Structure 1
Amino acid sequence: MKILVIGGGGREHALVWKIKQSSLVKEVFCAPGNAGTESIARNIAVSATDLDSLLAIALENRVDLTVVGPEQPLAMGIVDLFQSQGLKIVGPTAKAALIEGSKAFAKDLMKAHNVPTADFEVFEDKEAAKAYCKGRGPVVVKADGLAAGKGVFVCSNEAEAIDAVEQIMGAKTFGDSGKQVVIEERLEGQEVSLLAFTDGHMILPLEAAQDHKAAFDGDTGPNTGGMGAYSPTPIFTPELKDEVVERIMLPVLRGMQKEGVLYKGILYAGLMLTADGPKVLEFNCRMGDPETQPLMMRMKSDIVPPLKACAEGTLEKLTLEWKPEAAVCVVMAAGGYPGSYEKGHAITGIEQVASIPEAQVFHAGTKVDGGHIVTNGGRVLGVTALGADIEQAINNAYRAADKIRWESAHFRRDIGKKAVKK
């Protein structure tokens, strides 16, 4: 098989790395890719949002299966486009991708089909949204549209909530994504991510992972696209996984079907484990980043059959096997991220990580410039390692991260610590 992976982040490097190991695969393309995918796949310098050029690449190279990493091309309708040309592709159609593309759509879908989530209101008027925040206490304010994981404000008081509304709807920090806001009750508990393959009818869940959204240690600072993740999550029992599949994921699929939409690809449920049970914080229409990195390290099964089955509607025949080890991903970011940051700093020490056999460096915001690997984004590397348990995986990941250097690099020092405390 020839497989095309679309995207250029750490998630895509991890997917290419795992797909490349399959005996079913002859060649892997990555568009646009990064300095990491360049060494194991054929990078093609085309943006993940240039749908016509991506279609041309798939047709010219007779690609058998396309795997979409980021949410933007899914929301733009890449699946609809590829399917219209008879090409197999993993992901939901543009209409189905609204589950991530519009938080209001997702909340209405959950409400209609009794999926447990936080109480909420949707606003198109800035002043009405601000008025709603007054006297309400802790809330979460979300830009309705796609915002690269940064359009969510967890607010402790009225002033923070009103400021969040102003940033989203007044200053238009996230552009058109802030035409509407969703304001919901602030749930308490621990967050867990559960990703699943689906062919529109069946759910095949992966192992759970736990992301770390805040920029700094102790879950402080602004929200980011994710500063690290680990798997498995001790607090997420097999019973809880079954409950999430039955009470959350399957009802969403059936709800979509009732609206004439067959949701295929990856369904990602961001969950809060509350005292009243799991509740949905958000849905994503693709694999998480950085959750994908530790999940690919732990997955024992060949990933290609379930990806292919999502596109073909044959998922019921498959199961997944997992390594017993834990995995931890530490995201190394550019100084200033998630705000403004510089690009072009030379990265050293990546080759030294080879001395740690349990570790793997997944590239995200990197490129090759003049024979050197340099920074080219906010989240630069996802340093990921296996270990006999979470604590050992943490130690291995940080031993690897400490070998890598560039000007103004920063990363959290507490990834996975919650699991160790448990």
Structure 2
Amino acid sequence: MRILVIGGGGREHALIWKLAQSPQVKSIYCAPGNGGIAEKATCVPISATDVNRLVRFAEEKAIDLTVVGPEAALLAGVVDTLEERGLKVFGPNQAAARVEGSKRYAKELMKKYGVPTGDYRVFSEGREALDYIRRRGAPIVIKADGLAAGKGVVVAETLEQAEQAVKRMLQDKAFGDAGKEIVVEERLTGQEISLMAFVDGETVVPMVPAQDHKPVFNGDKGPNTGGMGAYSPVPQIPTKIVDQAVQEILHPMARGMAEEGLHYRGVLYAGLMVTEEGPKVIEFNARFGDPETQVILPRMKSDLVEIIWAVSRGRLSETSIQWSDQSSTCVVMAAKGYPGSYKKGETITVPEPTRDRIIFHAGTARQGDALVSAGGRVLNVTSLGDDLRAAREKAYQTVDQIGFDGAHYRTDIACKGLNV
């Protein structure tokens, strides 16, 4: 089987790492890929949102299955165009991907189909938003409606922070069209978990849960990022809570989208807050999470190719997934200054990977024989262990062996799972 993976980050590296383990795979291409992906796949210099060139490439190389990584590609319509040309593809179409592309749309679907989430209002005018926020008070959450690379969410602890966020999004247009509308919602409190599932219409097959770390600094301080690390399992969240989320959130959302005629096929990601009232949705994504994928796929014992091939053919109900009892931890090494401005081109040296120590590349490139930084999140250092403490220790031991001047990373990844 010839596979094309669209994207060029740590998530895509993890996908390729797992796909390459399947005996069904003959060759893997990645568009555009990165410096680490180039070691396992043939990278082609095509943007993830250049739909026409991607489709032409898939046809020229007789690609059997295309796997779409980033949300921008989904919302650009690459799935729709590939399907129109009779090509198999894994990922929801453009209409279904709106569940991530518009927070307003996702909230409206949740309300319509009884999926538990926080109270909210939508605004396109700053004065109305500020009046509402002043009446509600802080803390409160302000979100850009559209895609903002994981940075369009502000958890405002004070009214001043909320006012600054509204001004930045609506008046300063910090996120362009993605911020022309904002969603203002109540702040949910509790433990967060990321719960992903393979979805084929109304068939839902959940993956093991993970916990992401969005803020850039230890103790969940500082601005939100695309994710500074993750771990799985999440021992402090009881299994019954995860089962409740599957039954009360994932299944109703899948049924609701089916009723809307969306024919959802791919991964549905639910970012959840476990409140005193039970799990509630913070956000939905229409693809594999990043960096959650980097800790979940190493725990998957099943053949990923078989699973996504079944989804692409509408036969997910015929599959099952086996999981390892091991724990995994991922520490993101970012460029200094991220998520703000940062320098590229820093030389990086990494140790050889082992069975339980995997370094997924996110923002790297090759300059001759040298590996250099080429993005904000640069490396995803993932380790497996018999328990969470062992996995965490291995991950940070590996971080210490990496040469990367100016690297920034959190030192408290997985501490919540250890009650530290």
TM-score band by shorter chain is over 0.9
Structure 1 position 240, deviation (Å): 2.0
Give the match for residue 77 of structure 2.
Answer: 77
Alignment partners' CA distance in 1, 2:397 and 2:362:
19
Give the match for residue 384 of structure 1.
Answer: 382
Alignment partners' CA distance in 2, 1:385 and 1:402:
13
| TM-score, length of structure 1 as denominator length | 0.98
| Residues 298 and 323, structure 1, Cα contact 8 Å, conserved in 2 | yes
Give the match for residue 290 of structure 1.
Answer: 291
Segments ≥4 residues shifted beyond 4 Å: none
Alignment partners' CA distance in 2, 1:87 and 1:201:
22
Give the match for residue 103 of structure 1.
Answer: 103
**Identity of matched residues, %:** 51
Alignment partners' CA distance in 2, 1:382 and 1:314:
32
Alignment partners' CA distance in 2, 1:242 and 1:209:
14
Structure 1 position 121, deviation (Å): 0.3
Post-superposition Cα deviations, 1:200-220, rounded to whole Å, max 9, x if no partner, equal 120011100000000011110
Give the match for residue 15 of structure 1.
Answer: 15
Post-superposition Cα deviations, 1:4-50, rounded to whole Å, max 9, x if no partner, equal 10000000000000000001111111110011110111111111011
Give the match for residue 333 of structure 2.
Answer: 332
- Of stretches 125-134 and 212-221 in structure 1, the one that deviates more from structure 2 is 125-134
Post-superposition Cα deviations, 1:212-265, rounded to whole Å, max 9, x if no partner, equal 000011110110000000001113333222211211111112211222211110
Kindly indicate whether residue 375 of structure 2 is the aligned counterpart of residue 374 of structure 1: no
Alignment partners' CA distance in 2, 1:340 and 1:96:
33
- What are the equivalent positions in structure 2 for 1:289-308 lying under 5 Å apart? 289-308=290-309
Give the match for residue 61 of structure 1.
Answer: 61
Post-superposition Cα deviations, 1:93-130, rounded to whole Å, max 9, x if no partner, equal 11110000000000000001110000000011111111
Q: Mind listing any 5+ residue stretches in structure 1 that lack a counterpart?
A: none
Alignment partners' CA distance in 2, 1:416 and 1:58:
39
Give the match for residue 322 of structure 2.
Answer: 321
- What are the equivalent positions in structure 2 for 1:270-281 lying under 5 Å apart? 270-281=271-282
* Secondary structure of residue in 2 paired with 1:273: strand
| Residues 353 and 400, structure 1, Cα contact 8 Å, conserved in 2 | no
* Secondary structure of residue in 2 paired with 1:347: strand
Alignment partners' CA distance in 2, 1:75 and 1:283:
14
Alignment partners' CA distance in 2, 1:113 and 1:201:
14
Structure 1 position 357, deviation (Å): 4.6
Alignment partners' CA distance in 1, 2:22 and 2:159:
52
Q: Mind listing any 5+ residue stretches in structure 2 that lack a counterpart?
A: none
Give the match for residue 217 of structure 2.
Answer: 216
Post-superposition Cα deviations, 1:259-301, rounded to whole Å, max 9, x if no partner, equal 2211110100000000000000000000000000011111111
Structure 1 position 371, deviation (Å): 1.3
Residue identity opposite 2:316 in structure 1: L
Alignment partners' CA distance in 1, 2:312 and 2:247:
22
Alignment partners' CA distance in 1, 2:363 and 2:38:
13
Structure 1 position 353, deviation (Å): 4.5
CA-based RMSD of the aligned residues comes to 1.0
| TM-score, length of structure 2 as denominator length | 0.98
Alignment partners' CA distance in 2, 1:388 and 1:192:
21
| Residues 202 and 258, structure 2, Cα contact 8 Å, conserved in 1 | no
- What are the equivalent positions in structure 2 for 1:150-189 lying under 5 Å apart? 150-189=151-190
Give the match for residue 45 of structure 1.
Answer: 45
Alignment partners' CA distance in 2, 1:18 and 1:357:
12
* Secondary structure of residue in 2 paired with 1:247: helix
* Secondary structure of residue in 2 paired with 1:93: coil
* Secondary structure of residue in 2 paired with 1:128: helix
- How many residues of Structure 1 are paired with residues of Structure 2 in the alignment? 419
| Residues 208 and 236, structure 1, Cα contact 8 Å, conserved in 2 | no
Structure 1 position 391, deviation (Å): 0.6
Structure 1 position 170, deviation (Å): 1.2
